[in-house]
Amino acid sequence: MVKAIKISVRILFLLLVTIILSAGCNEENSDKSGPEQLNESLIINLKGQWKFSLGDSPEWNQIDYDDSRWEKINVPSSWENQGFHGYDGFAWYRKEFVVDKNLSNENLYLILGFIDDVDQTYLNGKLIGLSGGFPPDYNTAFNSYRKYKIPNDLLKKGKNVIAVRVFDNELEGGIMSGEPGIYSVLNELNPDLSLEGIWKFKIGDDKIRSEVDYDDNDWDSLFVPAHWEMQGYRDYNGFAWYRKKFFISKDLSKERLILILGKIDDIDQAFINGIQIGSTGLWNFSKVPHDFNSRNEWDQKRIYSIPEKILNFNGENIIAVRVYDGFQDGGIYQGPVGIITQKRFREFSAR
């Protein structure tokens, strides 16, 4: 009874904060915090028993880790309802499943629903999504809907393993609710080269950060797409930079290419190999943008043509994105993010 009262108070508080924020600014809340209707077709049902262990170890994300001695619990449901009442802290889930056909041409997402409070999610040992901030920079994401893009060719025919690292701070914890599964999504752009995943990130501003040889070794690592508030930069407004190294297939060297950066909150400038290729928002200011949200830039899709002879098809490339956020959520927050041929982009847009 006491726990139910606490949960109700928590929900009412969040609703109150949402109402206050909505009334105090013009920017709408772009975090939908719930499932989107994108013609999702269930490919693999992940509801049911998963392997489970309290504690924390980096090796638990590996595909060949021996979890035979782990507990079994049902997903979705809080771990408190399954024998771990009162436990707050780290825990891991693992799920092995078999794919009996080639799915490399599908536009796939892993959906886990709602997780309380923070998660890092791995598929076959590769990080594909995270929400919230782990200690010491704890930030709950219990009300964020977990829907993570699966990189092309990561899901393979035969054995596959999902591993989910979870941290719960209070009340109930775990993979709480939803319809966990792997879904094929129709009518959504699927880049030839996905750039979603881990990027380097640093707050502040310095244009030298766009240069190819700039040293970003001491930068933080953030997941894209996701608001930076959900990844340890709560309440931060101002300038920040993203950087990512990538390689691109020679098969695309004769194609006209387009960079898609999803949606960015609020305005941005995009660079590839030190050359600016695109911009959204008004950047004609001396120190701080003043009309950064005059055209609802936070809700505009970033689609930038890549000039010829900029990309290196024989080695490493660097993409850098300069972002300014004025208030509320910030960063590259919604996909798809990647590089696509002009032909495929046009065909998709003509549907």
Question: What tens digit of pLDDT does each residue of 74-121 get?
Answer: 999 999 999 999 999 999 999 999 999 988 888 899 999 999 999 999
- Choose between 24 and 195: higher pLDDT: 195
Q: Chain centroid to CA 218: how far? A: 21
pLDDT at 84: 97
- Domain-embedded: residue 15: no
Question: What tens digit of pLDDT does each residue of 298-338 get?
Answer: 999 999 999 999 999 999 999 999 999 998 899 999 999 99
Residues 154 and 219 in one domain: no
Evaluate if residue 157 carries a pLDDT over 70: yes
- Domain-embedded: residue 265: yes
pLDDT at 327: 87
Q: Chain centroid to CA 144: how far? A: 11
Strand 181-185 to 108-116 pairing: antiparallel
pLDDT at 298: 95
Evaluate if residue 33 carries a pLDDT over 70: no
Tell which of 164, 185, 206 closes a domain.
Answer: 185
pTM of this structure: 0.78
CATH of the domain at 114: 2.60.120.260
Sheet holding 331-341, edge to edge: 193-194, 331-341, 257-265, 301-306
226, 130 in Cβ contact below 8 A? yes
Q: Which domain holds residue 158?
A: 38-185
222, 130 in Cβ contact below 8 A? no
β partners of residue 321: 242, 270
Question: What tens digit of pLDDT does each residue of 195-252 get?
Answer: 998 999 999 999 999 999 999 999 998 999 989 988 888 889 999 999 999 999 999 9
Q: How far apart are CA 175 and CA 196, in angstroms?
A: 23
- Domain-embedded: residue 22: no
Tell which of 151, 185, 219 closes a domain.
Answer: 185
- Residues 2-26, mean pLDDT to the nearest whole number: 40
- Domain-embedded: residue 23: no
- Domain-embedded: residue 320: yes
Residues 199 and 345 in one domain: yes
Question: What tens digit of pLDDT does each residue of 181-198 get?
Answer: 999 988 888 899 999 989
142, 29 in Cβ contact below 8 A? no
Which residue type is seen at 211? E
- Domain-embedded: residue 102: yes
Tell which of 143, 166, 185 closes a domain.
Answer: 185
